[in-house]
Structure formats: C-alpha cells, structure tokens
Structure 1
Amino acid sequence: MKKVVSTGVALVVIGGLAFGAYNFNAEGKRFEKNKSYDINDIETLKVDSDSWEVRFNKSDSNELTIFAEGKQINDEPVTFKRDGEELVIKQNEQEQSDFFGGFTFGKKGTIHINVPESGVNNIQLTSKDGNIAMSDISADNIAVENNAGDGKIKDVSASSGRFASEDGMLSVENSSIEKLHITSTSGDNYMEDVISSEAKVTSVDGVISIKDTKEGKSLDVNTAAGDIEVSYKKAPTSLSVTAKSESSDIALNLNGLKKKEDTENLKTGKIGQGTNKLSLSSDDGVIKVTD
C-alpha cells in the first residue's frame, strides 16, 4: 500500500513539475510594442484581433499612439503596418508546438489605441475572441464586428456606427452617433443616454434596454427572444408608435399618446403630428415604453 501511495505522490509531483514547465513555456516571454503616427496621415484605422482585448481611448497628444502588451510564445503577436492612408493593426494567435496545442492560460494581451481629440475618419475593428472598449473618442465612421466577447462604448461621437456581435454583451453610454445600427445573435444590448437620429437594434436572443434616449427620426428595435425596454429623457412631442409582441405584455406609458390600435399583441398610436417613428417588436418578450 505504501509503495502505491508513494508512486502516486511521485506521479503527481512529476506531473505538476511538467505542467509548470509547460505553462512557463506556453506563456512565453513578455511582449511590448508601441509606436506613434501623425493623425493627419491616417484616413482609416483597421484593427484585426484574434484573441486580445482592444481598448480605444483619447490621446493626450496630437498623435495617434498604439501600445500592445501581452505574451509572446514564438512569432511577434502584434504588427503595425502603414499602407498609404490606412494603418493596419493585426494580432495573430500563436500556436504551441506540443501536445497541448495552442492553449495558453490567463490574460493573453491588450492593444491600447489612443486617438487624438480631432478624431479619425474611419475605424474598422474585427475581433474573433476578446473584449472591446471605446472611451472618449470621435470618428466619422465606426464599424465593429465581434465574434465572442463583450463590448463597452462610452463617450463616443460618430456620424455612423455599426456594431455586430455573435456572442457577447454590448453597452453604449453617453454617446452621440447620428446613424446607429446594432445587430446581435446572442447577448444583451444596453443603451443609456445615447443621442441618435436614426437607430436600429436587432437581436436574435437577448434583452434590449434603451434608457434616457432622446426623440430622433427613427428608433427601430427587434428581438426574436427577449424583453424590450425604452425610456425617454424628455417626453416625445411628435412620435408615431408601433409595438408588437407575439406572446407577452405591451405597456406604453407615454404622455399624449393617442392609441389607434390597442390589442393584447399590437399597440399603435401617435403623439402630436407623429413625424418621428418608434417601432418595437419581440416574438417572445415583454415590451415597455415610458417617458
């Protein structure tokens, strides 16, 4: 019995040492890279990230600065490349050439992008698996595609913003985006104190919450499965309303709303001349609107 126990302990110790050695090798050495660019030379900022977090913030200088920090196993994990007026930032996943494959443990890395107050014309961000954050920046056009990971947008201004997510939560706060388009397959969407003339939010499965919004030309919200909640910071004065839910309650608590249709699954009406549009639909979820 003692021999069996001793052998087992030895195997655990050897295994632990081997795993520790692997873990050290898999994590590799620390990687850091930074560079600055004249914002006047950049028309489009394109970011393609496999698994690292990407964070946009306001720059303290008049230059666009990039700082990448994380783990390097073999090849350089992040590259910067100028192509005419386009700046491309690319992060590739590194593979470990042993029986564990490409697995690494803990936080892999972060790409920090600091944009001057003057902003940039176009931001294109594609992320395969990693969180995304944008804070206190401006751009003419922002396009974000995120396969898996949460997104947090705060204090951002843009003429147009398109955010697409396959699996992850998205929040947009205290921002001004003239034309806003959000599509989500699986994950909740939260908007608070967002100014948008034309906004469209579409979700397959997830809650959609829009708080303290302002009356714009159009707000179109649709989810196949999930509740919809909309609240206005100031009571609308000229709004046409359509709310449809196949199997749940609809509550429209809007001052001055004159209802045209008022059934269990469909409610329509307007406030004032009804110049602006509010359209809400959920196949399976409660709809609630307040001012």
Structure 2
Amino acid sequence: MKKILVASVVLVVVGGIAFSTYKADAKSFKKNKSYNVENIETLKVYTDSWDVQFKKSNSNEVAISAEGKQKDKAPVTFQKDGEDLVIEQKAQKSSGFLGGFTFGKQGGTIYINVPESGMNNIEITNKDGNIQMSKISADNIVVENNSGDEKIKGVSTNTGKFVSRDGSLSVENSSFEELDITSTSGDNYMKDIESSKVKVTSKDGAVSIRDITEGESLAVNTIAGDIGLSYKKAPTSLTVFAKSNSDITLNLDGLKKSNDDVKLKKGEIGEGANMLTLSSEDGAINVAN
C-alpha cells in the first residue's frame, strides 16, 4: 500500500513539473506593422487556428497587428512578396507526451485595418478560426473557410466569393456586384444586401435572406435546409421558379402563377426581366415582399 502511495505521489510531482514546463512554453506574442496600400495588389491571409478581424482604417495604410499566446516564437508573419502582402499564421507543433494536450487558452487574433479607399484584392484561406469583416471595401474578396464562423457587415466589393466547409456565414448591410456562396455544412444568413447577381449553394444548412434589393438574378440551391427570403421593396419585374419536396409559400404582390403544383411553382411579376430561382431537395421555401 505504501509503495502504491509513494508511486502516486511521484507521478503527481512529475506530472506537475511537466505541466508547469508546458505552460511556460505558451508565451505572449505581439506584432504590429503598417504598409502603404498603393504598393499592394493582393492582401493574402493564411491562418491555421487564429481569428481574423478586418476593420476600416483612418489612414492610407494597411495596419496589421497580431496578439495572442502560442508556443512558437513567431506564430504570425507579415511579408511583402512582389505586389502581394502575405500574412501567415501557423499552429504550434505538437511534440512529446504533452504535445497533444492544450492547457489554458491558446491562439490569438490578427487585426487588419483597411483604408477607406479600399484595396484591390483580399484573399483569405482559413483552416480553423473565426473571420470578421466590418466597414471595409475592396474590388474582390475571396474567402476559403475550412472550419469557423464568418461575420461580414458593412462590406462593399465588386465580387464576393465565400466557400465554407463547416461554419455559419452572416452577411449584413453589404453591397456586391456579384455574390457567390458555397457551403457544405452550416447556416447562411443575409440581411439588407444589394447585389446584381447572387448565387447560394448549400449542402446542409438553412439559408435566410432578409430585406434584399431586387437584382438581376438570385439563385439558391440546398440539399437539406429551409430557404427563407424577403425583399426590401416589392419586386417589380421578376420571373419566379421554386421547387421543393417540402412546402412552398410565395407571398409576392402582383405574382401571376403559370404553375402552382405542390412541389413546383412558377410565375412572373411585371415583365419578368429579373430571375429568382429557388430549389431545395428537403426543406421548406418561403418568399415574401
């Protein structure tokens, strides 16, 4: 019995020393730098695990800062590569007996402030972290997200492309010439959007679009998930096509239906110059002014 007790005490002491040593490895990291936006064609961001936040800057420079805790001495790097500005964050490497364990809060946040004049291109490749964009503009924004939530608010861009494997997407009070969303798993929420062309493809998740402005084309296709849509103002020239194995409700002023089956509804408002196409294999469709 005494041998067992002594062995247990030794394990606790050794474990405590190892635990303390591991915790000491997680050090604070902070880095700041600014770049002239005129010398940047594309801002590229690669993240393994840290969050990324974009906000409007009050200067004509791109101001970047990274703050957090991680074992690596330089978990985040900023580098100018020709006309590209590359921001890269790599997750810590696991090693030893405790390498696979996480004690306390690890990781951090990368803050990117973009001038009001905007940027040419923003490209984000995210493995596991949340993304926020607030009151920024760019010619083109492309986001490839493996896992993490995305919140986009007050963004203006010609082309917005968001591809997500696992995580929710929220887009609010933003304008796009073209908006393309592809989602494997996760809900998609949009509110007060202006866009000539919108395309949403979802495998598993609900799609909610509220207070959208009538545009040239709006297409939503889901395999499993409800589709909810409302317009900021009643459409005046729209061709409507809605198909689902579940319920379909179309509450649109002036809609003249040419097909009113349970699983397929078609019709026109005015001259029908713009297109609305909604399709869900297993989900309800609800459209209103």
Place the TM-score, normalised by the shorter chain, in its bin: over 0.9
Residue number in structure 2 paired with 1:145? 144
The SS at the match of 1:14 is: helix
Deviation per CA, 1:155-189: give whole Å up to 9, x if none.
00000000000000000000001100000000000
1:278 matched to 2:276? yes
Residue number in structure 2 paired with 1:290? 288
Q: Percent of pairs identical after alignment? A: 61
Are the aligned partners of 1:153 and 1:172 in contact in 2 as well (CA < 8 Å)?
Answer: yes
The SS at the match of 2:16 is: helix
Report how far residue 264 of structure 1 moved. 0.7
Q: Distance in 1 between matches of 2:179 and 2:223?
A: 20
Are the aligned partners of 1:135 and 1:156 in contact in 2 as well (CA < 8 Å)?
Answer: yes
Q: 1:249 aligns with which of 238, 244, 247?
A: 247
Report how far residue 17 of structure 1 moved. 2.0
Residue number in structure 1 paired with 2:60? 62
Instruction: Assess, with a 3 A threshold, how the Cα gap between structure 1 residues 94 and 242 changes in structure 2: closer, same or farther.
Output: same
The SS at the match of 1:93 is: coil
Are the aligned partners of 1:172 and 1:192 in contact in 2 as well (CA < 8 Å)?
Answer: yes
The SS at the match of 1:235 is: coil
Are the aligned partners of 2:239 and 2:276 in contact in 1 as well (CA < 8 Å)?
Answer: yes
Stretch moving more, 80-89 or 151-160: 80-89
Q: Distance in 2 between matches of 1:205 and 1:220?
A: 16
Deviation per CA, 1:196-233: give whole Å up to 9, x if none.
11000000000000000010000000100000000011
Deviation per CA, 1:60-90: give whole Å up to 9, x if none.
2221100011123134111111112110011
Are the aligned partners of 2:22 and 2:98 in contact in 1 as well (CA < 8 Å)?
Answer: no
Are the aligned partners of 2:70 and 2:106 in contact in 1 as well (CA < 8 Å)?
Answer: no
Residue number in structure 2 paired with 1:84? 82
List runs of 5+ in structure 2 lacking aligned partners.
none
Q: Distance in 1 between matches of 2:193 and 2:180?
A: 13
Instruction: Assess, with a 3 A threshold, how the Cα gap between structure 1 residues 12 and 97 changes in structure 2: closer, same or farther.
Output: closer
Report how far residue 137 of structure 1 moved. 0.2
Q: What RMSD over aligned residues (CA atoms) do the two structures have, in Å?
A: 1.8
Q: Distance in 2 between matches of 1:211 and 1:31?
A: 41
Q: Distance in 2 between matches of 1:142 and 1:173?
A: 15
Report how far residue 16 of structure 1 moved. 6.0
Q: Distance in 2 between matches of 1:99 and 1:59?
A: 44
Which amino acid in 1 is paired with 2:27?
A: K
Residue number in structure 2 paired with 1:29? 27
Task: Give the TM-score of the pair, scaled to structure 1.
Answer: 0.94
Q: Distance in 2 between matches of 1:160 and 1:125?
A: 14
Deviation per CA, 1:222-247: give whole Å up to 9, x if none.
1000000000110000000000002x
Stretch moving more, 78-87 or 195-204: 78-87
